Chain A
Amino acid sequence: MILLASSSQENLSRWEPAVSDYAPVFHSTSLNSVKKELVRIKPQILLLDYHLPILVGSDGISSLMKLNPETRVILLTPPLSDEIEWSLFRTGIRGCCRIDIEPKQLKYVVEAVQKGELWIRRALSGHLLSELVVITHEKNNMKQGISDLLENLTRREGEIATLVGNGESNKQIARRLDITERTVKAHLTEVFRKLEVADRLKLALMVKGSLTSAVPSRMAH
């Protein structure tokens, strides 16, 4: 199932042959209709005209994509600067090509995106890779930071922190370790202090190693 969205009938009929293999093909000529169809037919692919009304900037597109996150969005755009195009990719679109693309070429793009590939200009692929390196570096630093902090815990504190990570309550922990609930609480106060966390949810996330960095990466804007 595929959705073509543009206010221009001419565009729609030019794109149609490129996606005939993926019938049924639906058309939307307004933003409202796109929103409705995304929810109703849940298309695998959305070919979206960058010029569709109101759809300016990446905020518009990202809220549109939340309506059905499974839909892979290919944007058809006028020539854009690298920065704008990259910011569009950061919203989660899977492909971007010129609005006047040949139908034969567009068919190729749709096939690629359908397979999970990313249709991005070579000039932008460098941005993507740099971002991967930065993010990986941040994640590794964070993991290192967390494991450094965890090393400050005593054996008992570490045990209790792990059990909190498994979602156990103070009562369960007390029973399991054969100590009083008060002692568990006392240990936890010390754990919170050492790890600089405010509550047990954050502690659990930290122990599980899934606490994500609050620091936005350099290219996030």
Chain B
Amino acid sequence: MKTVTVAIADTNQARRTNLERSLQGEQDIEVLTNVLSKEVEASIERRADSGTDVTEIEDVVERIGRLKPRILFVNLDESTGGAALLEALYRAYPETLLVMLTDKSAKDADILHALASGARGCLDYETAPSYFLKAVRVLDRGEVWVTRRMLGKIMDKVLH
């Protein structure tokens, strides 16, 4: 059985633990931890809202490069550098499948932008834990994790 490696780039410890827990107990899924270094987390905590720091993004990208997960969940709020991080990751490791973690406030335009930048799916981190597992399975098969409504919007964009 081939092992699917999964990593989670989220500065929020509680959310990360929650997600990790929902994927544990599966024999063929390996959850890689410590995607964000302690220094990055510390500097993110220190930083109020000073925007994206290029060195931090580079640092995360480099760490992901060492771990090379098959699937990477990325929280795209300001604390991780947002869309810029996603674009950098997609450019550097197109073989890693990126999933955007959002909350209820995520706007369609932001999700579309993330998908256009290379994300293979979008998931509300408050969703039922079983969906995380399902998403991993679906993505690993090469499919995407996007709502039908969003697929409609993507089609509109592709055709016009």
Binding site for B on A (CB under 8 A): 89-90, 92, 94, 112, 115-120, 122-123, 125-126, 128-129, 131-133, 135-136
Closest B residue to A89 by beta carbon equals: B155
Stretch from B13-21, B25-33, B111-119 at the A interface: B111-119
Q: Which residues of A contact B159 (CB under 8 A)?
A: 90, 92
Contacts known (A122-B143, A126-B143); A117 close to B152, Cβ less than 8 A: yes
B46 an interface residue at 8 Å Cβ cutoff?
A: no
In the complex, chain B residues 36-87 whose Cβ is within 8 Å of any chain A Cβ? none
A159–B158 Cα distance when bound, in Å, is 33
**Chain B 124-148 per-residue mask, 1 if CB under 8 angstroms from chain A, else 0:** 0000000000000010001110111
Cβ 8 A contact of A118, one of B118, B142, B151 = B151
B2 contacts chain A at the CB level, 8 A cutoff? no
Q: State which of A120, A133, A135, A136 has its C-beta within 8 Å of the C-beta of B151.
A: A120
Q: Given the complex, which residues of A lie within 8 Å of B158, measured CB to CB?
A: 128, 131-132, 135
**Which residues of chain A are near B157, meaning CB under 8 Å?**
132, 135
Given known A132-B154, A133-B116, contact A117–B143 (CB-CB < 8 A): no
Taken together as a complex, chains A and B put the C-alpha atoms of A118 and B151 apart, in Å, by: 6
Q: In chain A, what residue has the closest Cβ to B119?
A: A129
Q: List chain A residues, Cβ under 8 A from B152.
A: 94, 116-118
Given contacts A129-B115, A129-B120, A132-B116, contact A116 B143 (CB under 8 A): no
B155→A129 contact, CB < 8 A: no
With the chains together, A112 CA to B151 CA distance in Å? 11
Judge whether A136 and B117 touch: CB under 8 Å: yes
B146 in contact with A129 (CB, 8 Å): yes
Which residues of the partner chain B approach A119 to less than 8 Å between Cβ atoms? 148
Closest Cβ neighbor of A128 among chain B residues:
B154
B52 to chain A, nearest CB (A): 18
A132–B115 CB distance below 8 A: yes
State A129–B114 Cα separation when bound (angstroms).
11
Interface residue? B149 (CB, 8 A): yes
Who on chain B is nearest to A123 by CB? B143
* A128 lies within 8 A of B143 (CB): no
Distance of A112 Cα from B152 Cα, bound (Å): 10
User: Which of B116, B118, B154, B158 has the largest count of A CB atoms less than 10 A from its CB?
Assistant: B158
List 5 A-B residue pairs with CB atoms under 8 Å apart, sorted by A's residue number.
A112-B148, A128-B154, A128-B155, A132-B157, A133-B117
Residues of A within 8 A of B149 (CB): 115-117
- Cα separation A218 to B149 with both chains bound (whole Å): 25
* Contacts known (A90-B159, A135-B157); A129 close to B144, Cβ less than 8 A: yes
State the CA gap A116–B151 with chains docked (Å): 9
Could you tell me the distance between the alpha carbons of A170 and B80 in the complex, rounded to whole angstroms? 50
Instruction: Kindly list 10 other residue pairs between chains A and B, CB separation below 8 angstroms, not including A116-B149, A125-B143.
Output: A118-B151, A118-B152, A119-B148, A120-B148, A126-B120, A128-B151, A128-B154, A128-B158, A133-B115, A135-B158
* Chain B residue nearest in CB terms to A91: B159
A136 touches B116 (CB 8 A): yes
A118 and B120 within 8 A (CB): no
How distant is the Cα of A136 from the Cα of B147 in the complex, in angstroms?
A: 20
Q: A131-B158, A132-B115, A133-B116 are in contact. Are A126 and B148 (CB under 8 A)?
A: no
Enumerate chain B residues within 8 angstroms of A135, measured Cβ to Cβ: 116, 157-158
